[in-house]
Structure 1
Amino acid sequence: MLAETVCSAVSAAGLGIAVVSAYRRRFLAAARIAAYALVPVALVMTGVVEWLAGTAFSPTAWAGFGVLGLSWLLFATTRAVERRRGGTRKERRATKAAQRDSVAPGASAPALGPTQDREGQGRAQSDRSRRSGGRGAADDDFGDIEAILKKHGI
């Protein structure tokens, strides 16, 4: 009963402010204030305020919120442990089987990666530049392409 009275008073005050805003010819602001002022009365009329007041002062409801918090904590803990272990047993078995059955296990490594020499430049690049006689970077690019095509038999 007290919550309904407070909501009604808040709505009446908001509608009063809306009337003053409309008197000052701020009609858009007055309409917006009136909309906000009608929300508490609407909540009282729908019964939400009564339900909320009953829930807020109910020990059973607070115990229910505690149980919900405990279940969330358990879910979060099990997820963290599962991530640390690397997934469930089924997921680990599937991952190991996929690694064993993969077509090219080293496919992520570059096929024609240049080896490093003492100066930090690729040996393949320096050999190509010696062979080309210093013709430029465009010939080096075509040389890479030719080497890849020859490797694959094309």
Structure 2
Amino acid sequence: MIAETVCSAASAAGLGIAVVTAYRKRFLAAARIAAYSLVPVALVMTGIVGWAADTAFSPTAWAGFILLGGAWALFATTRAVERRRGGSRTERKEARAAQRDAVAPAASAPSLSPGSRPAARPAATPRASSGDDFSDIEAILKKHGI
């Protein structure tokens, strides 16, 4: 009974604010406020407010919400642990089997005889001295006070 009265009062106040807003020539805002203010009355008329009030004061409903929260926490914990481990045991076995099957079983090891080695690369242009590389790094560190 009290919840219905509060919802009706809130709707009446909202409609009053919508009228004042419309009087100030802000019709779009007034229509939006009127729409929001009609929601509590609609909830009372559909019976949702009565159901919510009965649920809010029911110890059985609170126990059910606590059990739902516990179930959600267990589910979230198991998912986090599963992600940390890298999937389930069957998924890991399947991944290992797929990796083993990916290699050709009849292939032989490559030959490393002297005639089959690739030719050596030509000498590259000499690099700048390592002192130049470190001087840049030192300048950056000094700039940041390290």
Pair in the same fold by TM > 0.5: yes
Q: TM-score, normalised by structure 1?
A: 0.65
Tell me the amino acid that sits aligned with residue 6 of structure 2.
Answer: V
**How far off its partner does 1:46 sit?**
0.7
Tell me the amino acid that sits aligned with residue 65 of structure 1.
Answer: F
CA distance in 2, matches of 1:95, 1:20: 68
**How far off its partner does 1:19 sit?**
1.1
Tell me the amino acid that sits aligned with residue 101 of structure 1.
Answer: D
**How far off its partner does 1:55 sit?**
0.8
Match of 2:9 in 1: 9
Higher deviation after alignment, 19-28 or 46-55:
19-28
CA distance in 2, matches of 1:30, 1:68: 40
Match of 1:67 in 2: 67
Say whether residues 1:101 and 2:101 are aligned partners.
Answer: yes
CA distance in 2, matches of 1:41, 1:14: 11
Match of 2:133 in 1: none
CA distance in 1, matches of 2:91, 2:79: 14
**How far off its partner does 1:4 sit?**
0.3
Match of 1:37 in 2: 37
Matches within 5 A, 1:1-154: 1-103=1-103, 124=121, 127=122
User: Gaps (5+ residues) in structure 1?
Assistant: 105-122, 131-154
CA distance in 1, matches of 2:84, 2:31: 55
**3-state SS of paired residue (1:25):** coil
Match of 2:140 in 1: none
CA distance in 2, matches of 1:57, 1:74: 26
CA RMSD of aligned residues (A): 2.0
Q: Could you list the per-position Cα deviations for residues 51-89 of structure 1 after superposition, in whole angstroms to 9, with x for gaps in the alignment?
A: 111111111111001111111121122223323333222
**How far off its partner does 1:27 sit?**
1.2
User: Gaps (5+ residues) in structure 2?
Assistant: 105-119, 126-146
The one of the two structures with greater contact order (alpha-carbon pairs below 8 A, sep at least 6) is: 2
**How far off its partner does 1:10 sit?**
0.7
Change (3 A) 1:29 1:81: closer
Match of 1:151 in 2: none
**How far off its partner does 1:129 sit?**
6.7
Q: Structure 1 vs Structure 2: percent identity of aligned residues? A: 75
Number of corresponding residues:
110
CA distance in 2, matches of 1:6, 1:81: 46
